[in-house]
Amino acid sequence: MPCSPDGPESSRKLLMRPECLNSLFRPLASLKGAGKTTAPLMAKLVGGEKAVDLLWHLPSGVVDRRFRPKVAEAPPGALVTLQVVVEVHQAPAPNAPSPYRVLCRDETGFVTLVWFRGRGDMRGLLPVGAERLVSGKVEFFDGVPQIVHPTVVPLDQADTLCRVEPVYPLSAGVTNKALGRLITQTLDTAPDLPEWLDAPLKAREGWPDWRAAVRAVHAPETLQDLDPTTSARRRLAFDELLAGQLALMLVRNAARERPGRVLAPTGRLRAPTLAAVGFALTGAQTRSLAEIDADLTNPSRMLRLLQGDVGSGKTVVALLAMLAAVENGAQAALMVPTELLARQHLETLRGPCAAAGVSVVLLTGRDKGRAREALLARIAEGSAQIVLGTHALFQDDVVFHDLAVAVIDEQHRFGVQQRLALAAKGRAVDVLVMTATPIPRTLTLTQYGDMDVSRLDEKPPGRQPPDTRLVSLERLGELVAAVGRAVAGGTKVYWVCPLVAESETSDLAAVEARHAVLNEALGGRVGLIHGKLKGPERDTVMEAFAGDGLDVLVATTVIEVGVNVPAATVMIVEHAERFGLAQLHQLRGRIGRGGGRATCLLAYASPLGEVARQRLEILRATDDGFLIAEEDLRLRGGGEVLGTRQSGLPGFRLSDPLLVGDLLATARADAQRLVAMDPGLQGPRGNALRTLLYLFERDAAVKTLRSG
Ligand code: ADP
Ligand code: MG
């Protein structure tokens, strides 16, 4: 059932998901065999709640059940499928710890089937005297072959059993069998989709159609079939990259084409503000600001990424950009990912803004009731000129009088949709996004291909890179003593513990235990901060650490983003080997923001592998975030660089742009050509390409076509 091409009818139709994708976009919970408890577990595993998300979950192994020897010929350790007759059941006494055994044979010998865990009566599955196919790994026990927990089917199901089965990455509560069944169901109803690929490219690469490709990747026969270089896998990877690049370019074009407004900075507010901050801009800041000013002055819209290492001074650049809006009688907003960071920004901006007579307000999810209404009123009437906030900023009831500049800090914490939602709150909003994660070029293309980029590649003067050393965790006692000495000398200390997920209670328990030990050793002036704490509790701890209340802060990576405590010049990172390099670099950026040389001790669990040591050595050797990012990428792959924990790149499930660099360049060139020739995607490939964008949920990009 191929997608019917859209006629020239209403453009509304163009902006709706094509019907041919319906079966792929139904909830995976609606599939047969997706139980109430398993469906959410599966959704979590595959990273989405729709049937199509199952298809993006690619097998990582194969089980070959085609080998069908006689019992006497079954080699130890081999995976075999045997055709046997059931002889005797040996059921254990109720509650006895012994396993359930079933003795079977063929004409060449005997084999025992074994189940360890409590099974009911197995006579239904294996009636005495019946013939069955049993499959599993052969082991020898007292000279007799046995198979533990075999798969058992009647003879007439040989076709479904004796084949190569894909093996999927699994998580607790999800079995390969259950997952495989849902994937098969989805594949069975998967539609033919219109071909969006460039025909010559497809022919040159020898790629299959989309439907054939998804079926192929889920039907591997050998380990080679799992390789990312198979034509089916490459095709799907290319599809994903093409969707990504096309979406980025459409969004970029739409932003450029829609008229912006001219916000020529007058300097009326900038001058007193700069005087109040009390330092001169670095060369990099001046250059970035000039780039921003050119965008603001230009009648098209700004969409610019300001990349700069921790401590490179992005905040003041953001402030000056926002002041351009205020100088022109409009408002500006600064959105940050956490409450803590929002509060710190308020502290930083309050003084300089007051000096220029500019009003700044803070809106977070914590503002409730009348206080919130009062804030919203000030934002709506325009008396709040600069609005700082968290996700609370793009809630529906937040209405600006005249928003002209939106700044988004720590861009990687927000999605494109959120960025658009904020920008939609004003008229022709100029957008500046900032990231403290230095991003290598390949990644800039995949993640930020829609933006212009400014780089703060120079730190404010007087900064010394932290003295970074590796220490074995076996010397924990010495570490604690060193912290004691540092505290006695008047420094504050961060003690960072890894947390796989804030929800992992075992990890949390470890952090709490560490806190207890340190607090005991250091006289009760040790605080604890982690993601499970509520906002106000976190702020209380953080304020105590920034002030006089606490000397040491035991923290999970919640301190990662933006937080500033100048008196903290020592950091211990426990289990440093578990962190990404870029993440460690960001953490390390928290210390040494005052004067003097900071110390960062990377405590690792022994023994440290060779690659792990090399990685940590890089941090010792350099403080250049861009360099560290490139090295991290080389050693570990992209996910780490962007601060996410999954392997591969965020937003990419079929392609790892690092492995398929050639495809990325091709996809980019193809997308560029397409957008130049057919910006509204109306031409012959247009319909198919829109289907592609929906398939990869780049809906936001399709919406931009309205104006195209
Ligand atoms: P980040 O890029 O990490 O957001 P910040 O904007 O917080 O960095 O700046 C880090 C620190 O450097 C702040 O204390 C800020 O006041 C200071 N700073 C920024 N620019 C300069 C400069 N040109 N000269 C001296 N100090 C600066
Ligand atoms: Mg910052």
Pick left, alpha or beta for residue 346 (phi over 0 → left; psi -120 to 50 → alpha; otherwise beta): alpha
> Among all ligands shown, which has an atom nearest to the Cα of 463?
1
Task: Give 402-447 pLDDT, tens digit per residue.
Answer: 999 999 997 666 776 787 788 889 988 999 999 887 777 667 777 7
From residue 505, give the alpha-carbon distance in Å to each of 42, 496, 511, 514, 645.
21, 17, 10, 14, 18
* Distance in Å from the first CA to the final CA of the chain: 29
Residues surrounding ion ligand 2 at CB below 5 Å: 562
Beta carbons of 71 and 87 less than 8 angstroms apart: no
Distance 567 CA to ligand 1 centre (A): 15
Task: Identify the residue whose C-alpha is closest to ligand 1 atom 4.
Answer: 314
For a mutational test of ligand 1's pocket, the pick from 316, 409, 588, i.e. the residue with the most ligand atoms closer than 8 A to its C-beta, is 316
> Among all ligands shown, which has an atom nearest to the Cα of 280?
1
- CB 308 near ligand 1, within 6 Å: yes
What pLDDT does residue 582 have? 80
Distance 375 CA to ligand 1 centre (A): 29
Check if 270-437 and 467-622 are the same fold. yes
Nearest to 128 by CA among 160, 155, 90: 90
Per-residue buried b or exposed e for 55-77, using 16+ beta carbons within 10 Å of the residue's own CB: bbbbbeebebbeeeeebeebeee
Give the pLDDT band of residue 316 (cuts 50, 70, 90).
very high
642 vs 291, residue with greater confidence:
291
Distance 351 CA to ligand 2 centre (A): 17
Distance 325 CA to ligand 1 centre (A): 22
Quick one: 467-622 is in which CATH superfamily? P-loop containing nucleotide triphosphate hydrolases (3.40.50.300)
For a mutational test of ligand 1's pocket, the pick from 279, 288, 560, 564, i.e. the residue with the most ligand atoms closer than 8 A to its C-beta, is 279
Distance 147 CA to ligand 2 centre (A): 60
What pLDDT does residue 267 have? 93
Atom of ligand 1 nearest to the CA of 589: 3
Beta carbons of 590 and 619 less than 8 angstroms apart: no
Atom of ligand 1 nearest to the CA of 277: 16
Beta carbons of 671 and 241 less than 8 angstroms apart: no
- Of the ranges 91-105, 207-221, 635-649, 658-672, which one carries the lowest mean pLDDT score? 635-649
Distance 410 CA to ligand 2 centre (A): 8
Task: Identify the residue whose C-alpha is closest to ligand 1 atom 22.
Answer: 460
From residue 75, give the alpha-carbon distance in Å to each of 85, 228, 614, 670.
20, 32, 43, 52
Atom of ligand 1 nearest to the CA of 316: 6
Distance 458 CA to ligand 1 centre (A): 11
Distance 492 CA to ligand 1 centre (A): 20
> Among all ligands shown, which has an atom nearest to the Cα of 341?
2
Q: What is the DSSP letter of 259?
A: B
392 vs 421: CA distance, rounded Å: 11
Q: What is the DSSP letter of 436?
A: S
> Among all ligands shown, which has an atom nearest to the Cα of 593?
1
298 vs 578: CA distance, rounded Å: 46
Residue 607: cis peptide before it, omega within 30 degrees of 0: yes
What pLDDT does residue 503 have? 55
Atom of ligand 1 nearest to the CA of 566: 14
Is 60 exceeded by the pLDDT of residue 3? no
Task: Identify the residue whose C-alpha is closest to ligand 1 atom 26.
Answer: 460
- CB 436 near ligand 1, within 6 Å: yes
What number of residues does the chain have?
708
Task: Give 9-26 pLDDT, tens digit per residue.
Answer: 455 566 788 899 999 999
426 vs 406: CA distance, rounded Å: 9
573 vs 508: CA distance, rounded Å: 16
Mean pLDDT of 544-552: 89
Percent above pLDDT 70 for the chain: 91
Distance 409 CA to ligand 2 centre (A): 7
> Among all ligands shown, which has an atom nearest to the Cα of 585?
1
What pLDDT does residue 8 have? 46
Atom of ligand 1 nearest to the CA of 308: 2
- CB 460 near ligand 1, within 6 Å: yes
Q: Assign domain 66-162 one CATH number from 2.40.160.20, 3.90.550.10, 2.40.50.140, 2.60.120.560.
A: 2.40.50.140
Nearest to 114 by CA among 95, 91, 131, 84: 91
Atom of ligand 1 nearest to the CA of 312: 2
Distance 358 CA to ligand 1 centre (A): 20
The CATH fold assigned to 270-437 is Rossmann fold (3.40.50)
Task: Identify the residue whose C-alpha is closest to ligand 1 atom 19.
Answer: 313
279 vs 40: CA distance, rounded Å: 53
- CB 312 near ligand 1, within 6 Å: yes
Beta carbons of 291 and 452 less than 8 angstroms apart: yes
Mean pLDDT of 553-563: 70
Distance 285 CA to ligand 1 centre (A): 10
What pLDDT does residue 103 have? 95
Distance 367 CA to ligand 2 centre (A): 23
Distance 50 CA to ligand 2 centre (A): 36
Domain boundaries, the chain: 66-162, 270-437, 467-622
Q: In terms of DSSP bridges, do strands 452-456 and 303-308 run parallel, antiparallel, or are they unpaired?
A: parallel
- CB 480 near ligand 1, within 6 Å: no
Is 60 exceeded by the pLDDT of residue 607? yes
Task: Give 635-679 pLDDT, tens digit per residue.
Answer: 765 444 444 433 445 567 888 766 677 888 899 899 989 988 888
Beta carbons of 624 and 465 less than 8 angstroms apart: no
Distance 532 CA to ligand 2 centre (A): 23
What pLDDT does residue 563 have? 63
- Of the ranges 96-100, 151-155, 317-321, 437-441, which one carries the lowest mean pLDDT score? 437-441
Nearest to 3 by CA among 670, 685, 708: 685
Residues 6+ apart with CB under 8 A from 622: 465, 628
Q: What is the DSSP letter of 119?
A: -
What pLDDT does residue 649 have? 55
221 vs 437, residue with greater confidence:
221
Q: What share of the chain is helix, strand, coil (3-state, %, to 5)?
A: 45, 20, 40
- CB 316 near ligand 1, within 6 Å: yes
> Among all ligands shown, which has an atom nearest to the Cα of 316?
1
For the chain, how big is the Rg over CA atoms in Å? 30
Q: What is the DSSP letter of 341?
A: H
- CB 313 near ligand 1, within 6 Å: yes
Task: Identify the residue whose C-alpha is closest to ligand 1 atom 21.
Answer: 460
- CB 282 near ligand 1, within 6 Å: yes
Task: Identify the residue whose C-alpha is closest to ligand 1 atom 15.
Answer: 313
> Among all ligands shown, which has an atom nearest to the Cα of 310?
1
pTM exceeds 0.75:
no
54 vs 182: CA distance, rounded Å: 8
For a mutational test of ligand 1's pocket, the pick from 305, 312, 563, i.e. the residue with the most ligand atoms closer than 8 A to its C-beta, is 312
- CB 247 near ligand 1, within 6 Å: no
Distance 317 CA to ligand 2 centre (A): 10
Mean pLDDT of 51-72: 93
Task: Identify the residue whose C-alpha is closest to ligand 1 atom 10.
Answer: 311
Task: Give 140-151 pLDDT, tens digit per residue.
Answer: 988 889 999 898
Task: Identify the residue whose C-alpha is closest to ligand 1 atom 23.
Answer: 281
Atom of ligand 1 nearest to the CA of 462: 25
Per-residue buried b or exposed e for 293-325, using 16+ beta carbons within 10 Å of the residue's own CB: bebbebebbbbbbbbbbbbbbbbbbbbbbbbbb
331 vs 425: CA distance, rounded Å: 11
- CB 391 near ligand 1, within 6 Å: no
Distance 51 CA to ligand 2 centre (A): 39
Give the pLDDT band of residue 218 (cuts 50, 70, 90).
very high
* 484-490 own/partner pairs: CB under 8 Å, 24+ apart: 484/521, 484/522, 486/569, 486/570, 486/599, 487/522, 487/525, 487/551, 487/552, 490/567
Distance 158 CA to ligand 2 centre (A): 62
